[in-house]
């Protein structure tokens, strides 16, 4: 699997730089440890503006790896140029340096109810998902992406917070 590092310097839509993974559906304000919208961890949402470019890159890269993993299990992008052209025609924002599988997610997230033939967008569902309505598949992708982010948090991040709490009691 090829994963591109994501930067903030090159994005598809002029005058619409994507500076944060935020999608405007933040659930960390309600106490979630992983945001149901952007899939970042609560401390990443809170501290984002104070992060260095390297720290932001690390978050972007983790999100990309997890999303690509989910998307590749559901569909195949067979023509990235066609997908890119469709995104641009429909004025759907995407991060240019990300995997075409992330672009596919952006298209499905915004167009699941109106897309009839994915082949016209340079992608095809894998056989086991071809009978799934696209809105249902979109919701399943989002749920799986969230669950992977949550599992990553529980496996790699939560133990560090617990360790820090034991070393630095109140």
φ, ψ for residue 34, nearest 5 deg? -125, 130
The domain segmentation of the chain, as residue ranges, is: 28-167
Q: Supply the pLDDT for residue 8.
A: 33
Q: Is 66 a residue whose pLDDT tops 50?
A: yes
**pTM for this predicted structure:** 0.83
Give which of 83, 74, 72, 73 is closest to 120, Cα–Cα: 83
Stretch 147-167: mean pLDDT: 78
- Region 93-116: mean pLDDT is 94
Q: How far is CA 87 from CA 13, 79, 83, 134, 151, in A?
A: 10, 13, 6, 17, 31
- Summarize the confidence of residues 28-53 as an average pLDDT: 86
pLDDT of residue 169: 52
Instruction: Reply yes or no on whether the pLDDT at 99 is more than 90.
Output: yes
pLDDT for 69 beyond 60: yes
Strand-strand pairing, 75-77 and 123-125:
antiparallel
pLDDT digits (tens, 9 = 90+) for 123-153: 999 999 999 999 999 999 999 999 999 999 9
DSSP state of 121: G
- The residue that leads in pLDDT, 139 or 27, is 139
Going by pLDDT thresholds of 50, 70 and 90, the confidence category of residue 17 is low
Using alpha carbons only, what angle is made at residue 72 by residues 68 and 77, rounded to the nearest 5 degrees?
100
Count H helices and E strands in the chain, helices first: 6, 2
Distances (CA, A) of 121 to 43, 126, 140: 36, 15, 20
Query: Is 10 within 8 Å of 96 (Cβ atoms)?
Result: yes
DSSP code, position 34: B
Secondary structure (3-state) at 124:
strand
Give the SS3 label for residue 75: strand
Report d(CA 140, CA 75) in Å as an integer: 13
Other Cβ atoms closer than 10 A to 67 = 24
């Amino acid at each position: 699997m090829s994963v591109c590092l994501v930067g903030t310097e090159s994005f598809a839509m002029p005058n619409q730089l994507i500076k944060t993974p935020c999608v405007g559906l933040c659930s960390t304000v309600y106490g979630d440890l992983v945001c149901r919208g952007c899939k970042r961890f609560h401390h990443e949402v809170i501290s984002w503006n104070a992060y260095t470019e390297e720290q932001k890159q690390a978050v972007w890269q983790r999100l990309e790896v997890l999303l690509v993993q989910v998307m590749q299990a559901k569909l195949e992008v067979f023509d990235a140029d066609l997908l890119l052209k469709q995104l641009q025609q429909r004025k759907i924002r995407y991060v240019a340096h990300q995997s075409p599988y992330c672009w596919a997610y952006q298209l499905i997230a915004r167009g699941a109810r109106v897309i009839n033939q994915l082949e016209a967008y340079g992608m095809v569902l894998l056989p086991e998902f071809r009978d799934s309505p696209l809105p249902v598949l979109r919701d399943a992708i989002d749920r799986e992406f969230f669950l992977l982010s949550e599992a990553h948090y529980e496996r790699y991040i939560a133990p560090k917070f617990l360790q820090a709490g034991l070393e630095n009691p109140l």
